[in-house]
Amino acid sequence: MALEDLRLSMILTLAFIFGLTTLAFVFLLDVFGLASPLAALIIAVVFNVGQWLVSPFLVELFYHVRELPYSEAPHVHQALEEVVARSGLREKPKLMIAEVPYPNAFAYGSPLTGNRVAVTRGLLNTLSKEEIAGVLGHEVGHIVHRDVQIMTFVSVLPAFFYILGRMFLYSGGDRDRDRSGVIALGFLSLFIYFILSLANLHLSRIREYYADYHSVKTAPSPSVGAARLMSALAKIVSYTGRMKLQGAELRVAGFKELFIADPDRAVEDMESLEGYQLARRIAERRVTLADKILELFSTHPNIVERLRRLEELGRYEKL
């Protein structure tokens, strides 16, 4: 998928998400006579902006995030500074560490906190400096493309309609006719939740490809950028997969769309890499129909397809 196709797909997906959300808000509030269409639009905007502003604090609380001192990991700060310089950002994002054992990284932020990039303790213990630089290039790509704002903006919307649907289904009405109408609204809310969830997952996969491209583009050369990010992703998937097979409980239920790799799919992705010397020779594996169907319900692209595209990017002399 070319960069122009990725950008167009992202714009169309966002238009669909916000269009459907706005229509649903207006319809549901108008049905119950709770607000006029104009008031419904205002409520929708306030709701979205409010959850965007507070989401960084929830992320830091959930994953035990703190600022990473320069003295504790100077090589990580240096790698981030190099990536930021090549990305053309005016200000270096604040570097944070999440005290969780599995390797991963994520970018997040809001006007209240500024841009932040977090690496996990497991990442520092698993990857080399070059691989960490590849991961940081990916996360800075999310900041450059404003994915941080976009994904925190849309991530709560499906959950809202899920809660609304359950509330309608369990509350019912005083009369049979009222109850049937409320139940219908409940199922409609759950249907909207399902459609928004699929749209969000599609958007999340697009932004991962887009950020991968940025990591490769800002490396000393495309071949170096592709190689170090491929190696990093392979290690992240393999290490996390082994931890899960050994019975480790990974706290990944919330905000996993922010991660560079989906921890919930680590075992499946690890199995996809076995026999191919991790990232090398990955293009030889065929992506099956089952792989493509499973990808529809994942926050991240299929690991085989993702590494294959990185390998293709590495063949360019200049991006």
CB count in 10 Å sphere of residue 23: 13
CB distance 309 to 222 below 8 Å: no
Residue 115, both tokens: 């841009």
Q: Which residue has the tokens 């991790």?
A: 278
**Residue 253 phi/psi, 5° resolution?**
-65, -30
Catalytic residue among 72, 81, 99, 139: 139
CB distance 212 to 124 below 8 Å: no
Q: Which amino acid is at 3?
A: L
101: three-class secondary structure by DSSP: coil
**Residue 300 phi/psi, 5° resolution?**
-125, 155
CB distance 277 to 271 below 8 Å: no
Kindly report the length of the chain: 319
Rounded Cα distance, 152 and 227, in Å: 30
Rounded Cα distance, 80 and 131, in Å: 12
Residue 104, both tokens: 């991963």
Rounded Cα distance, 287 and 210, in Å: 20
Rounded Cα distance, 252 and 263, in Å: 7
CB count in 10 Å sphere of residue 245: 12
Q: Which residue has the tokens 């191919």?
A: 276
Rounded Cα distance, 225 and 133, in Å: 9
- Per the annotation, the verdict on 72 as an active-site residue is no
CB distance 151 to 204 below 8 Å: yes
Beta strands 114-120; 94-98: pairing state: parallel
Active site amino acids: 139
